[in-house]
Amino acid sequence: NAGVTQTPKFQVLKTGQSMTLQCAQDMNHNSMYWYRQDPGMGLRLIYYSASEGTTDKGEVPNGYNVSRLNKREFSLRLESAAPSQTSVYFCAIETGAGANVLTFGAGSRLTVL
Amino acid sequence: TQLLEQSPQFLSIQEGENLTVYCNSSSVFSSLQWYRQEPGEGPVLLVTVVTGGEVKKLKRLTFQFGDARKDSSLHITAAQPGDTGLYLCAGGNDYKLSFGAGTTVTVRA
């Protein structure tokens, strides 16, 4: 997972608490993504960013906000965490020109009690 | 409902046996990828196929993209314990990559 760094790796929250997952890349690519992975559901796209300052909703954006203030960082925020947001979250960057090739971070495991 | 359906969901075989994992969809994709994921890690790209009917080989792994670009298969010859992992297919159109739910492969020594 060299090139994409996610923090924290593990987090436990209580319902209603807020937190931000951080993602940083050192590969100078434009497109960045946030996915969540749940058993039996595969990876589902939450938000993506095609370039600095732009963001768009993916398949499951409700309950999340994102911020892409610079080319290097893309953060995912949960304003009021719910148990349904218990999941493993992956940040990814698009590294293959024209073929949607993604390089993923190691993931952040979030538990909401 | 998954856009990409993978089968089987779980596969457990003995070292040295062959296995095939399938990825099917009713949608056409401009590219299809296979990733492997190990516990506690993010998915890692194995291969990308972009042409209908394309076959790619990566050592003991053979990937095929269907003629209509709606389905794909991954075949592993003489599986080894190191092949154990979650195999994910993903179909791409424009900026979007849609993932299947994955096939968990366990190769017993």
Residues 5-34 of B with CB under 8 A from A: 9, 31, 33
Q: What is the mean pLDDT of chain B?
A: 92
Q: Supply the pLDDT for residue A97.
A: 61
**Are B55 and B61 within 8 A, CB to CB?**
no
Q: Supply the pLDDT for residue B93.
A: 77
Model confidence pLDDT, tens digit, residues A4-38 = 999 999 999 999 999 999 999 998 899 999 999 99
Please report which confidence band the pLDDT of residue A39 belongs to, taking 50, 70 and 90 as the band edges: confident
| Cβ neighbours of residue A40 closer than 8 Å, sequence gap 6 or more | B9, B101
Residues 53-92 of A with CB under 8 A from B: 58, 90, 92
Provide the b/e sequence for B38-59 (b: ≥16 CB within 10 Å). Answer: eeebbbebbbbbeeeebeeeee
Q: Supply the pLDDT for residue A54.
A: 93
Q: Please name every residue paired with B37 in a beta bridge, in sequence order, or none if there are none.
A: B86
Q: Supply the pLDDT for residue A41.
A: 83
User: Residue B35 — φ and ψ, nearest 5°?
Assistant: -120, 155
Contact A101/B at CB under 8 A: yes
Interchain pair A105, B2: CB under 8 A: no
Say whether pLDDT at B105 is over 80.
yes
Say whether pLDDT at A2 is over 70.
no
Please report which confidence band the pLDDT of residue B43 belongs to, taking 50, 70 and 90 as the band edges: very high
